[in-house]
């Protein structure tokens, strides 16, 4: 009797099931774990693209004759490319599919990163970093969409937490990889004038995650959500059956869904809405649907919240990523300064360190001889960056647990006050150890701010606009990173106080926005 009842249940099929119900019924198991494993090299490749320059600046400054402004440009180029391409990739992913964008995007980025490793001049390296940021933004956005579309609602928040941990691990892997490569005396000359140094080998190795992820995604299926959006329900149902079989080890025929809801409209309307089956699939149609989707965010009642959230994201990333991307250079200069002055007054006062760094950069530009085969970089530079990366990962985990106990507004207010104060206090740091402690506090507090701000975005905007709101906020955040890294070397040349005062002030401005503009935040009625 039990066996018969079980068979009857298995044979009972649900008809006209929507995507959310269908993906929930596919379960969670081996297929989902495979997706997360494939995401590891993909996220590593993205973080490497935006972070590698900060680690090679102390190593390559003589080879490329880098000024302080050149260093700021190299840190900013990837983010500049990401800002320029932010809207375009969403249209391409919706038209051609997640899988194609993931495959060709990561492979194309691998080519850009490898070409950057062959750079012989600052200009060549800057161009390829811009192209790399322009390209990696596409598969990066597609990966986020893909991962959420192959998991049911029950598991999505946990999966996004796992993605955050992967990002933190990639930030730890970066200084570990640089520690393994930079101290090596790897300097080669090909064809008489083509030079290859350890920092170029470092960049070449950093192209491997994108190569691996691009190849791995050739083995992965397309997103079932995308297939349904294109009217390919039979393919989507077959894919969901395969996912169900992989996760549960049960025959595909026992998947309790008979058919899926038709998501594609039957005919085009005279409105601006986009029909995937429309014959007009050109650039104008893509732009029209893009403007249609964005329009509600820039009209009442959401306009005020869009402006405030995007401004806050700009200011927050201006402070956070400016310090983060200049940390290796800062720790390298502190270690070198303390080493040269260990028998005298060797305290690494921030004004003395920045003055030393400016003078050293000027000396490098005046140097006409051959650069040292292996730049003398202290071990402290690598260790300090690893410590900061661990602290940042811990802060992310802490934020995930605390954000539900405190309101996002309170958490954001507290952490912005801390980070703004700490940012200014870097001016008074007098030793390498005190700088490390202050920076750890700064990175931890600002990392919590990013999590709290995303919680506010999710609360402020209706479900239909949340993904777009997050994407727009991230675009403004990257613009803030670009501006911060372009402005920081200019401020350093003006003196030791302006750069840290600027960092603190932008975070205090974000604090003012939180406490003045979001007073009615929880009373806002989402309609």
Residue with tokens 């085969």, as numbered in its chain: 373
| Residues forming beta bridges with residue 195, ordered by sequence position | 189
CATH superfamily of 298-527: MFS general substrate transporter like domains (1.20.1250.20)
Would you state the structure tokens that stand for residue 59, as one six-digit string?
């190593």
Q: Residue 523: what pLDDT?
A: 44
* Orientation of helix 303-340 relative to helix 432-460, angle to 10°: 170
Nearest to 312 by CA among 424, 484, 480, 486: 480
Would you state the structure tokens that stand for residue 6, as one six-digit string?
């079980």
DSSP 85-128: THHHHHHHHHHH-HHHHHHHHHHHHHHHHHHHHT--SHHHHHHH
Q: Which residues 6+ apart lie within 8 Å of 237 measured at CB?
A: 22, 257, 259, 260
- Torsion on CA atoms 201, 207, 209, 212, rounded to nearest 10: -110
Q: Residue 88: what pLDDT?
A: 76
Q: Residue 352: what pLDDT?
A: 80
Fold (CATH) for 14-264: Growth Hormone; Chain: A; (1.20.1250)
Q: Which residues of 43-71 are buried (b: 16+ CB within 10 A; e: fewer)?
A: bbbbbbbbbbbbbbbbbbbbbbbbbbebb
10-residue mean pLDDT profile of the chain (527 residues): values are 41 74 89 93 92 88 85 91 80 80 94 92 93 90 84 78 82 90 81 82 94 94 87 90 91 87 55 45 58 67 80 91 88 81 66 78 65 68 87 79 71 88 88 88 87 74 65 85 91 87 92 72 42
Residue boundaries of the structural domains of the chain = 14-264, 298-527
Q: Residue 366: what pLDDT?
A: 64
């Amino acid at each position: 009797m039990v066996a018969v009842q079980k068979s009857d249940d298995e044979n009972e099929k649900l008809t006209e099931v929507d995507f959310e119900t269908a993906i929930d019924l596919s379960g969670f198991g081996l297929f989902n774990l495979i997706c997360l494993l494939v995401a590891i090299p993909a996220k590593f490749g993205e973080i490497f693209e935006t972070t590698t320059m900060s680690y090679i600046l102390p190593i390559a400054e003589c080879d490329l004759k880098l000024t302080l402004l050149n260093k700021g440009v190299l840190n900013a180029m990837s983010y500049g490319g990401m800002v320029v391409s932010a809207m375009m990739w969403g249209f391409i992913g919706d038209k051609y599919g997640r899988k194609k964008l993931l495959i060709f995007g990561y492979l194309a980025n691998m080519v850009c990163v490898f070409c950057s490793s062959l750079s012989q001049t600052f200009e060549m390296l800057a161009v390829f970093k811009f192209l790399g940021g322009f390209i990696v933004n596409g598969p990066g956005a597609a990966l986020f969409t893909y991962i959420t579309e192959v998991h049911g609602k029950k598991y999505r928040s946990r999966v996004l937490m796992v993605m955050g941990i992967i990002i933190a691990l990639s930030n730890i892997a970066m200084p570990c990889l640089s520690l393994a490569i930079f101290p090596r005396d790897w300097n080669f000359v090909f064809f008489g004038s083509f030079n290859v140094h350890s920092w170029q080998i470092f960049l070449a190795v950093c192209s491997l995650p994108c190569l691996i992820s691009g190849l791995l995604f050739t083995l992965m299926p397309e997103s079932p959500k995308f297939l349904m959006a294109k009217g390919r329900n039979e393919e989507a149902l077959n894919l969901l059956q395969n996912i169900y079989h992989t996760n549960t080890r049960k025959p595909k025929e026992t998947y309790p869904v008979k058919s899926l809801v038709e998501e594609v409209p039957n005919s085009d309307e005279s409105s601006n809405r986009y029909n995937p089956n429309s014959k007009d699939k050109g650039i104008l149609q893509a732009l029209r649907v893009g403007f249609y989707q964005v329009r509600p965010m820039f009209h009442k009642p959401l306009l005020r919240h869009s402006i405030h959230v995007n401004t806050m994201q700009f200011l927050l990333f201006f402070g956070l990523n400016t310090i983060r991307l200049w940390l290796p250079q800062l720790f390298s200069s502190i270690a070198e300064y303390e080493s040269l002055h260990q028998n005298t007054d060797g305290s690494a006062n921030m004004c003395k360190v920045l003055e030393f760094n400016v003078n050293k950069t000027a000396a490098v530009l005046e140097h006409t001889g051959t650069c040292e085969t292996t730049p003398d970089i202290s071990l402290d530079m690598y260790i300090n960056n690893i410590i900061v990366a661990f602290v940042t990962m811990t802060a992310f985990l802490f934020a995930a647990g605390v954000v539900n106990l405190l309101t996002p507004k309170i958490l954001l207010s507290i952490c912005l006050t801390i980070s703004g104060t700490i940012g200014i206090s870097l001016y008074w740091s007098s030793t390498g150890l005190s700088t490390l402690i202050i920076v750890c506090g700064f990175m931890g507090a600002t990392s919590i701010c990013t999590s709290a701000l995303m919680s506010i975005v999710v609360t402020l905007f209706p479900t239909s606009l949340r993904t777009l709101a997050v994407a727009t906020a991230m675009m403004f955040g990257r613009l803030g990173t670009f501006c911060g890294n372009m402005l920081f070397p200019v401020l350093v040349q003006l003196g030791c106080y302006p750069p840290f005062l600027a960092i603190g002030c932008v975070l205090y401005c974000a604090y003012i926005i939180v406490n003045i503009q979001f007073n009615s935040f929880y009373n806002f009625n989402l309609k």
